[in-house]
Structures are given as C-alpha cells and as structure tokens.
Amino acid sequence: MKPNFPEEFFYLSLGEIQAKLRAKEFKVKELTEAWCDRLESRGPKYNALAHSLRKPAMKAAKYHDKDFKRERFRSPLHGIPYGAKDLLSYADHPTEWGAPPFKGQVFKEHAKVISKLEGVGANCIGKLAMVELAGGGGYRYANASSTGPGLNPWDITRWSGGSSSGSGAAVAAGLVPFALGSETWGSILTPAAYCGVTGLRPTYGLVSRSGAMALSWTMDKIGPLCRTAEDCGLVLQVIAGGDSDDPGSAGKSFYYTPEYVRPFSEMRIGWNPADLDAVEDPGVRLALHEAVQVLLKLGFQVKEVKLPELPYGTVASTIIGCEMASVFEPLVADGRVQQLVDKTQAAGIVAATDYKATDYLKAMRLRRVIQEAMGKVFDEVDVLISPSRGGVAERISERLDVGGRGRLPLGAAGNVAGLPALSLPCGLAQNLPVGISVVSRAYQENLLLAVGKQFQAQTDWHKRRPPLPA
C-alpha cells in the first residue's frame, strides 16, 4: 500500500524529510515516485519542467533503499529528490539550455555539481526550465524560452523570474524539495524573491561550473534555491569545493557551521534607507521596512551605508556582453542564433560581437575599482541588506527590457565583485512575494546563512504556500 503524502508534506524542509526517511515512514522509492508524479503533473502548469528524469531517479532510489535498510546514511541529502536548471548537464539525457538551437543536445557526463549531489545520495528527478541561454543578449518578454514563459505559482499571470525560472517555480510550488540555479546578474535572487523561496548566490569560484553552459566565465555562479536558509547551507556544503576542470575555481571547500559565527552583537549590519525610498509600490516598501526592522533587531550594531557612485550596471553588462560574444560566436557565425524565441535577445547576442578589446579591458579595470570599493564598504560593516528586487513579479505580458527590471545597484556590484548573497522571503504585496537580501564579503556564506536562519526563526514567510493550481 502506497503511503499517503498530504499536500503539506511537499513543503517540509530537507531536515524534516530526512528525519522521516530515517524513521522508515516510507521508502526512498515511494518518496521519489511521489515527487516525480508531482513534478510531471504540475510542472507543465508553470512551464517549470524541461525534462523528467524519472527513469534514472527510480533506478537510483532502489540502491538508496538498500542503504537505508542497512542504516548507511551518506548525508542529510541522502534519498532526497531535487531538480536542476537545464543549463547543467545530466549524462545521456537532454540538456537544451532553454533554447531551440540546442534541442536534443546530449552530453556524456554529469555536471560536477550533479555528480557531487549524486555522490551523497541526492536524486535528480528533473531538468528545470530556464530562459534561453540564461538570458544572454537580453530579452524583451518572459516567453524567451523553448518551454514558454516561467509562470509564478502565486499568480500564473505573473513571471517566476529569470533566468532560473523553473527552479524558483518548482521549489515554490512544492514540486521539488530544492533546486539548483545559476546567477550571472540576478538569476538566483530574482526567482527566489518573486516566488517566495530562499536563494543563495555563492562567492564566485566556490562552486564548480564544470558541465554548465557558460554565459560569462568571470561572473557565472551556481547555487541552491530552497525552502530555508538552513537547507541552502546543507546543499552548499555538498556542491562547494575546488575543481581543476573549472579554471575559475577558488579551490575552497565549505562546511555549514553557522553556530561558529561570531555573536551578532560584535558585528555591524549596514543598509541604505534610500533603497527603500526607491521602491515605488507602497506594499513592497512596507514589507521591506518590516523585514529591515527584524534584521536590525537581531543584535547587530547598525550603520547607514551608501555605495560609492560607480558604473556598476555598465561594467556588469560590458563584461557579460564581451564574454558572451566569445561563448556564442559559433551560434552567430552559422546563423542558428536566429532560431531563438526572443528576437530581441538574438539581436543582442549579434550586437555583442561589436564590442572591442578596449571595451573589455576598460570594464575589467573598473571591475578592480569596484572590488576595492566594496572591500572598503565591508571594512565598515559585516553584512549589507537590500531589497532583492525593486518590486513584485511582472506580468508575463509586460516588457522586461525597460526600467532596469527592478534591479538595484547592489545586485550589479555584488556580481561584479563576486560576493555572496542570500535572498529571504519577507512579505507579500499584491498577494505576491517580496524578498530581501543579505550580502557579505567573499567566503562568508556561514554568516549570511546564520543571519537567514535567525531571520526565519523570527518570521514565517518561508512557510507560506502559493494557492493550489487550478
């Protein structure tokens, strides 16, 4: 007889699911089948599923059940299903990067992060939808994907956020316990904020990109989207680490130990009140204000901080554009770029080939200035807080290439400097999620996760669920 998995089960944290597995309330095979059924039936309602991996996942589940029977527990993720953004290769199965020119593309090896998760017993059940080519070239509408526009589980007339659209929607709707996404300039924090989940952008180089589609070699980062900050820490502990196959690897490991972070009373938290003033929607502004008050009451010393006036966005877009032009040069040369769904994006990739070496070198010199400037900011404070986005999710019919799409300076500055950030759900406006971010200097993920864990101990926004699909 199959176990009964009530709706609320699919919103449990990783620790809660693992505890039930170890208590033998159900088998890994039963758990995997239930999640596969859910992902396959509900994923298309949000355009969140690119490819189901039911067959290899069910095969792996049988081996995991043998481990559990003998009480061999590999990790806190052992036996737990998850989804991976479709820019990460899964051996001998389609990895299409959300783009029609790469339909049917197959690689022979797993991406490094998938191999690492497989090694500790986590079980990938599906490739999740994404904006084509991770948004390279810029895109005008949310439907810039071979799977259609990412639909937000809170309101399917709204966007789930790019470019990790499927990852954000799948976690929010309880289709997977956690997912892997990637960020070059906002693609983890945006879907996390729009879908009301927790998203971690690791320090550049902490997580291997081997086996992942490249957009910008010096800015691409892979990280988790989860229910809680603690879940993000458990996943990061597995996927972090040096990799000789990734030239950008920092060669550093990560162990989730938030308990060893210095007392908050000995640290400073910085924020800029002008960030809230720049938010137009009064409901969003109120949610962010209340979240700031919770964070400021965690015991930190408080300091108002204003980022130096530097061209963060211009530097980010120039670096991405120059590196993308090299990555996708063959796509332009053979004309396949015109097969992209979003013709604005195709034009943007073609236009990027006009960048000059001097443009790239100037941007890289300015990047060093930005890194030094951010270093000075973090001489003054230990943590910065800022809205994850300047508003709630756009309607899928709205243009996304106007008004900066709610981007804030810290998003560009943090990505250019390679700094880690954690987006936390912090409220609702127009019945849509709002997110707030905490940012720190490089390799301080445990500090961010400790802040996130304490924030989520004081609030319940991470426990809120979107309405059931029609």
**Which are the catalytic amino acids?**
85, 163, 187
Indicate the residue type of 122.
Answer: A
Indicate the residue type of 470.
Answer: A
Distance between start and end Cα atoms, the chain: 28
138: left (phi over 0), alpha (psi -120 to 50) or beta: left
Q: Helix 409-417 and helix 357-380: axis angle, to 10°?
A: 100
How are the residues of the chain apportioned to helix, strand and coil, as percentages rounded to the nearest 5?
Answer: 45, 15, 40
Closest C-alpha among 151, 209, 219 to residue 183: 219
Per the listing, tokens 């017993």 go with: 121
183 with 415: CB under 8 angstroms? yes
How far apart are the C-alpha atoms of 283 and 234, rounded to whole Å? 33
271 with 292: CB under 8 angstroms? yes
How far apart are the C-alpha atoms of 371 and 374, rounded to whole Å? 5
C-alpha pair distances (Å), 398 with each of 140, 147, 280, 305: 9, 18, 17, 33
Run of H or E residues at 290: helix 282-296
Using CA atoms of 389, 364, 134, 281 in order, give the dihedral in degrees to the nearest 10.
10
Residue 74: DSSP 8-state:
-
107 with 64: CB under 8 angstroms? no
